[in-house]
């Protein structure tokens, strides 16, 4: 009875470990940092693949078997190997990225729980080791079958991570559009964001000097492996600083909490106030940059009818998003008074590894994909690689000046988007999210999901830019 009680506690801790590990993988590795798409995480993914496959074997075995004699020693050695892989994973994680506090807490809880499990199960293995060598069945009831389910899940996760690491090894690093160009000294705001992180890393890889204005300089230093100068405020930049290019991407995500008055103030401050502070610095800077790249968004045009095509000459729309974008652009406009060439990029929904596309794909991967509202709202989108390519071209093409709609040539309705994602992922498309209740709960922010505008990249097309991903199918083949 005592032996059963000891084993019973060990299995309970193992189930807790599996649940916590699944939450850590789904929330942190998949949703937060999208590890399977980060080339810098290739080694970490390889370690995860090995660990997950070991866990799959151990979960399945411990769910149904008692390991006696030599088998107990084999399992103990597998435990030791798993512990070594975990310690190696900790070291690699700290070298490749700055873990957020909640992930560190999760890892600490996993380590404590895992230690307790290993202690209890280790005592049981020591008792089993004294028995004749053999495998005998053991019945944990529903807990055994739950561990079997976890074994399948963790093994699938390991295979996914292993394939991602193999794909990165095979493909190598993506081409760098900044390589081979004239040396630039670049100041970037929003450098730790979805676009900014890739942008800064590619600039650094190409040999340019980059300074990053970030709310969390330590996080930025981790992201860029100490290669970029990371500062918290403009007060750290002197007026004698020399920058050839300023890229202003700073802005809190618009999707999130309801757009209350407080939330609107935060969104405005993160964009307009930051840009105004940059203007104050630029006014006093002794060496003016040659180029200013200013982010904006197609929300400038407001909610429009699907039949209306909006080029850069289209009028400003109504609503908070329109006002936010207009104020953001207006705050940057004084840069032109100092003889600085300025590009304003009105971005559509930016698709890339992780980012806005990831939460859109999750329901489809789980078999719950479908349209939002009536599905007629237009999605004007752009692949992140095209955003980076346009920025790179602007470094050396002095003809690029003024406002540009940075969207792919093919805008699609949300219903068509759902159909094509379902086809790409080979998943059913049947679910329907009604607009009315979401509009009640989210207020004006629901426009991001249930309204849209058909935006066309007229000026980029006229400038001869060729999109790498002009169609949704091409983007999904790369990302889905």
Number of structural domains in the chain? 2
Instruction: Tell me the pLDDT band of 2, cut-offs 50, 70 and 90.
Output: very low
Mean pLDDT of the 80-98 span: 85
pLDDT digits 0-9 by tens, 308-338: 999 999 999 999 999 999 999 999 999 999 9
Mean pLDDT of the 401-429 span: 94
Q: Are residues 258 and 388 in the same domain?
A: yes
Cα–Cα distance for residue pair 292/279, rounded to 1 Å:
11
* Residue 100 belongs to a domain: yes
Instruction: Tell me the pLDDT band of 4, cut-offs 50, 70 and 90.
Output: low
Q: Are residues 155 and 230 in the same domain?
A: no
Q: Are residues 162 and 197 in the same domain?
A: no
pLDDT digits 0-9 by tens, 287-303: 999 999 999 999 999 99
Q: For residues 69 and 131, is the Cβ–Cβ distance under 8 A?
A: yes
pLDDT value of residue 113: 94
Mean pLDDT of the 141-164 span: 93
pLDDT digits 0-9 by tens, 347-372: 999 998 877 888 888 888 888 889 99
Q: For residues 370 and 432, is the Cβ–Cβ distance under 8 A?
A: yes
Half-sphere exposure of 157 (CA within 13 A, CB side): 23
Please identify, among 128, 148, 171, the residue that sits at the C-terminal boundary of a domain: 171
Q: For residues 43 and 126, is the Cβ–Cβ distance under 8 A?
A: no
- Within 10 Å of residue 253's Cβ, how many Cβ atoms? 11
Taking only Cα atoms into account, the Rg of the chain, rounded to an integer number of angstroms, comes to: 26
Mean pLDDT of the 266-285 span: 94
Record the pTM.
Answer: 0.84
- Of 300 and 29, the one with more pLDDT: 300
pLDDT value of residue 144: 93
Mean pLDDT of the 403-414 span: 97
The domain of 45 spans 2-171
* Residue 176 belongs to a domain: no
Give the alpha-carbon dihedral of 154, 160, 164, 166, to 10 degrees.
90
Q: What is the pairing mode between strands 402-406 and 341-347?
A: parallel
The pLDDT of residue 440 is above 80:
yes
Cα–Cα distance for residue pair 39/33, rounded to 1 Å:
12
* Residue 471 belongs to a domain: yes
Percentage of residues in the chain with pLDDT exceeding 70?
99
CATH number of the domain to which 382 belongs: 3.40.50.720
The pLDDT of residue 31 is above 80:
no
Q: Are residues 166 and 202 in the same domain?
A: no
Q: For residues 206 and 184, is the Cβ–Cβ distance under 8 A?
A: no
* Residue 180 belongs to a domain: no
The pLDDT of residue 343 is above 90:
yes
Q: Are residues 161 and 234 in the same domain?
A: no
pLDDT digits 0-9 by tens, 32-81: 777 887 777 889 999 999 999 988 998 999 999 999 999 999 999 989 99
Q: Are residues 342 and 267 in the same domain?
A: yes
Residue 430 has φ and ψ, to the nearest 5°, of -140, -20
- Of 282 and 101, the one with more pLDDT: 282
Average pLDDT, the chain: 91
Q: Are residues 53 and 194 in the same domain?
A: no
Q: Are residues 220 and 263 in the same domain?
A: yes
Q: Are residues 425 and 363 in the same domain?
A: yes
Q: Are residues 162 and 252 in the same domain?
A: no
Please identify, among 112, 140, 171, the residue that sits at the C-terminal boundary of a domain: 171
The pLDDT of residue 126 is above 60:
yes
**Residue in the block written with tokens 């053991």:** 138
Q: What is the DSSP string of 430-447?
A: EEEE-HHHHHHHHGGGGH
pLDDT value of residue 1: 39
Please identify, among 121, 139, 171, the residue that sits at the C-terminal boundary of a domain: 171
Beta strands, E only, 1-51: none
Cα–Cα distance for residue pair 464/168, rounded to 1 Å:
31
Q: What is the pairing mode between strands 349-351 and 412-413?
A: unpaired
Q: Are residues 142 and 289 in the same domain?
A: no
* Residue 425 belongs to a domain: yes
Cα–Cα distance for residue pair 245/36, rounded to 1 Å:
32
Cα–Cα distance for residue pair 454/416, rounded to 1 Å:
14
Mean pLDDT of the 121-135 span: 94
> Which tokens hold the place of 419?
């159909």
Q: Are residues 222 and 104 in the same domain?
A: no
pLDDT digits 0-9 by tens, 243-265: 999 999 999 999 888 999 999 99
* Residue 73 belongs to a domain: yes
Closest CA to 340 of 265, 417, 268, 394: 394
Closest CA to 157 of 20, 14, 358, 22: 22
């Amino acid at each position: 009875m005592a032996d059963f009680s000891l084993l019973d506690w060990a299995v309970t801790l193992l189930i807790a470990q599996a649940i916590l590990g699944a939450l850590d993988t789904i929330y942190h590795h998949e949703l937060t940092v999208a590890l399977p798409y980060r080339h810098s995480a290739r080694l970490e993914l390889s370690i995860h693949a090995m660990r997950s496959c070991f866990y799959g074997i151990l979960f399945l075995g411990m769910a149904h078997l008692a390991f006696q004699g030599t088998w107990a020693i084999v399992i103990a050695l597998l435990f030791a190997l798993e512990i070594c892989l975990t310690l190696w994973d900790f070291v690699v994680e700290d070298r490749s990225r700055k873990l957020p506090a909640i992930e560190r807490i999760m890892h600490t809880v996993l380590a404590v729980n895992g230690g307790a499990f290993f202690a209890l199960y280790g005592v049981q293995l020591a008792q089993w080791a004294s028995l004749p060598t053999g495998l005998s069945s053991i019945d944990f009831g529903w807990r055994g079958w739950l561990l079997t389910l976890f074994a399948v899940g963790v093994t699938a996760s390991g295979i996914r991570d292993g394939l991602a690491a193999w794909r990165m090894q095979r493909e190598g690093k993506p081409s760098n559009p900044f390589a081979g160009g004239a040396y630039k000294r670049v100041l970037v705001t929003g450098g730790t964001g979805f676009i900014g992180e890739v942008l800064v890393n590619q600039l650094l890889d190409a040999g340019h000097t980059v300074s990053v204005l970030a709310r969390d300089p330590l996080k930025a230093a981790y992201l860029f492996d100490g290669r970029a100068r990371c500062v918290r405020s403009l007060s750290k930049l002197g007026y004698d600083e020399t920058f050839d290019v300023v890229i202003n991407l700073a802005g809190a995500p618009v999707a999130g909490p309801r757009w209350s008055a407080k939330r609107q103030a935060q969104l405005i401050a993160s964009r307009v106030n930051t840009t105004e502070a940059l203007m104050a610095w630029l006014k006093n800077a002794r060496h003016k940059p040659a180029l200013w790249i200013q982010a904006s968004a197609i929300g400038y045009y407001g909610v429009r009818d699907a039949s209306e095509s909006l080029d850069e000459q289209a009028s400003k729309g109504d609503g908070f998003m329109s006002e936010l974008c207009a104020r953001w652009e207006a705050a940057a406009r004084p840069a032109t008074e100092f003889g600085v060439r300025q590009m304003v990029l009105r971005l559509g929904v930016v698709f890339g590894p992780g980012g806005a596309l990831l939460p859109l794909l999750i329901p489809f991967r789980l078999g719950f994909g479908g349209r939002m509202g009536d599905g007629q709202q237009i999605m004007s989108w752009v692949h992140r690689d095209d955003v980076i390519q346009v920025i790179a071209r602007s470094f050396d093409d002095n003809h690029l000046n003024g406002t540009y709609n940075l969207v792919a040539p093919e805008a699609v309705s949300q219903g068509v988007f759902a159909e094509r994602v379902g086809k790409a992922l080979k998943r059913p498309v049947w679910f329907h999210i009604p607009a009315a209740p979401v509009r009640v709960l989210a207020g004006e922010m629901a426009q991001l999901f249930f309204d849209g505008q058909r935006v066309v990249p007229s000026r980029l097309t006229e400038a001869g830019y060729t999109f790498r991903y002009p169609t949704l199918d091409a983007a999904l083949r790369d990302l889905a």
